[in-house]
Amino acid sequence: MKKHQKEINSTGFTVINGIYSAEETNKIARTIDAANADRSNFRKSEDLFAIRQFLKEIPDVKDLIFTPALKNVIHELFGHDYFLVKSIYFDKPENSNWFVAYHQDLTISVDQKVEIAGFGPYTNKRNQFAVQPPLNILENSFTIRIHLDDTNKENGALKVIPDSHSKGIYRPENVDWAIETEVSCNVKCGGIMMMKPLLLHGSNRTTNNKKRRVIHLEFSNQILPKELKWSEQLNID
């Protein structure tokens, strides 16, 4: 765990394989497949199937995800005061042409729009509010991506720029490729990638006809101003 903690601090990400067994990942996948996909938080196209507010939409999957192994990693790397604040499921099909350009995750999901110094601008998609918070909230957050398939650069593994999380707001158009290096975060089925939200990241189109299913979970230990609430706050213990 010390190695992974050092990697997160220095590069902004780390990969830990073997968190879930094949039986556990299959059970998670079956639970997702059994859900009613007609609700508004389910988005389906030829290139992507996504479920926003994932743990609210499919609560039965919570105990399958927060196993003793995952909770142990969270506690050892970040302590016991973090809670879940956002959850999304991504299913990138075998023939997907969908890609994501380099970006930082600069917004958090909240329950409403309130004018507060340091928070803004707001967006509202499908009645879900997102806002860019003060930088310290993003710096004290982390993301876990749980992989339900073997993933590499040919089927949409995240590509990242190491240490870009330490540079504040870092616009992709300002990246100096003479000094920056791109890394593909390959992860085995049942493994996780952990990253800081300010890490510049993106993903390519699928070229190997293999699907990529990922559960994206964001965590924070920050208390928001009293006028705002995290839209998905959930204790993991």
- Is residue 121 reached through a cis peptide bond, with omega within 30 degrees of 0 on the bond before it? yes
Q: What is the pLDDT of residues 4-38, one digit of tens each?
A: 999 999 999 999 999 999 999 999 999 999 987 77
Task: Give the separation between CA 89 and CA 145, rounded to whole angstroms.
Answer: 10
CATH fold of 2-220 reads Jelly Rolls (2.60.120)
Q: Hey, what are 216's tokens?
A: 């994206």
SS3 category, 79: coil
Give the pLDDT score at 231: 94
Nearest Cα to 56, choosing from 86, 33, 24, 26?
A: 86
Tell me the whole-structure pTM to 2 decimals.
Answer: 0.95
Q: Which residue has the tokens 């994501």?
A: 100
The list of the chain residues with pLDDT below 50 reads: none
